[in-house]
Amino acid sequence: MSALRTLTRTRLAQPVCRVARLSLRGLATSTGELKKTGLYDFHVANGAKMVPFAGYSMPLSYGDVGQVASHTHVRTSAGLFDVGHMVQSNFRGATVTQFLEWLTPSSLDSLPPYTSTLSVLLNEKGGIIDDTVITKHSDTAFYVVTNSSRRERDLAWFSSKLEEWNASERAKDGKVDIEVLDGWGLLALQGPESASYLQSLTSFDLSELTFGKSAFVPLEGFNLHVARGGYTGEDGFEISIPPQHAAEVAALLSKTPVQLTGLGARDSLRLEAGMCLYGNDLDEDTTPVEAGLTWVIGKDRREAGERGNFIGAEAVRKHLKDGPPRRRVGLVVDGAPARQGAKIFAPSGGELIGTVTSGIPSPTLSKNIAMAYVQTGFHKKGTEVEVDVRNKRRTAVLTPMPFVKSRYWRG
């Protein structure tokens, strides 16, 4: 294939199941000159309504296709999302595994090559600086994707901790460095028909690429890093693209039955899938145990000792041992949707026990769903509570998440 444009393998290790953490909440908080992904002109040419989000001009919707229609298309067919505003970074070095295991509670040494894990960056109090997906490329190279809304905080944290690490005895076998892949494209192809469509463009057997795995895949003259996973709960893929080819690949991937999809549908899809959004459902005052992310903490890292030496470990272990004071839960709310900030009370005019962090009318379920934190003791499924929606108490029932069953391809 003489026309093949090949990416250097050491340049990229693309994570799985990590797409931008999108929320309409970000629309009202952006200030200053907006950045543009490499697909800005592509979006405008395709009739996108562009809005501010996390410092970028991003598509809310396309043409006259509404949020519910876009949402439903992803659940029943396939949608394509531009998430190129996410921060993509390579970490390399002889001690890179130990470094990243210091920043996170995940077990990365046992992670196979080209496999990803959801993780969290923790502060000294065990609070979540950001949620992230870490992909192991090799024992000396990892690819890390973080949220665009946390760019300054994350990159400053990385810089500070790299300086501390490289000046310490822990780096005696080799220092660690970071390369931020600014300008790289990131596309998410999501939905039950995404695999068949992508398979039509490649000779690579995508059935071998199960959820959580990635590979370099030839796609119509490109050799791109493709990861199976996503932020919708549907089967799908994430595709990383060098800056100069982003528009070409987007055009290639957005033909029938694939439909371009924007921020509106992204938020409702991720909430139905029970996935957290940083700034709504996660923050620096929330530990992974409170957030229901205990599973990202490696079992071999939960006890004090060399393997349990990560930033914030003491606070995390306290919550593991004694239980957290509050827990993230799902709610189905009667009557009207409960939005972020709605107060939650014990039944029959009882005490204040929690707060809603995300809430929508679910297009798939035709019910009002929400994510929230409630005091431990009120967190069991089936528990009835009351939610203050526009100064009226609404009955809500704690419901397991995801609200809509995930359909990842596991082979």
Q: Point out the annotated binding site.
A: 238
Half-sphere exposure of 279 (CA within 13 A, CB side): 17
The helix (run of H) or strand (run of E) holding residue 250 is helix 246-253
- Can the peptide bond before residue 324 be classed as cis, meaning omega within 30 degrees of 0? no
Please give the torsion angle defined by the CA atoms of residues 126, 130, 136 and 139, in that order, rounded to the nearest 10 degrees: -50
User: If we measure between CA atoms, which residue out of 353, 329, 312, 342 comes closest to residue 276?
Assistant: 329
The pair of structure tokens assigned to 184 is 């790289």
Backbone angles phi, psi at 395, to 5 degrees: -75, 140
| Among 410, 408, 84, CA closest to 229 | 408
Numbered residues of the known binding site for substrate: 238
Say if CB 121 and CB 129 are below 8 A apart: yes
Question: For residues 61 and 35, what is the distance between their CA atoms, to the nearest angstrom?
Answer: 18
Q: Is 322 exposed, middle or buried (0-12, 13-18, 19+ CB in 10 A)?
A: exposed
Q: Spell out the residues 6+ positions from residue 229 whose beta carbon is closer than 8 angstroms to its own.
A: 16, 17, 18, 116, 211, 212, 236, 237, 238, 408
CA dist 395 → 345, 356, 358, 373, 398 (Å)? 10, 13, 17, 16, 10
Name which of 57, 49, 5, 47 is nearest 26 in CA terms: 57
Q: For residue 151, what is the enclosing H or E element?
A: helix 151-166
Q: Which of 220, 261, 212, 255 is nearest to 237 (CA)?
A: 212
User: What tokens does 13 get?
Assistant: 């290790």
C-alpha dihedral sign at 123, 127, 133, 135? positive
Beta-bridged to residue 341, according to DSSP, are: none
CB 364 within 8 A of CB 372: no
Residue 126: strand pairing partners: none
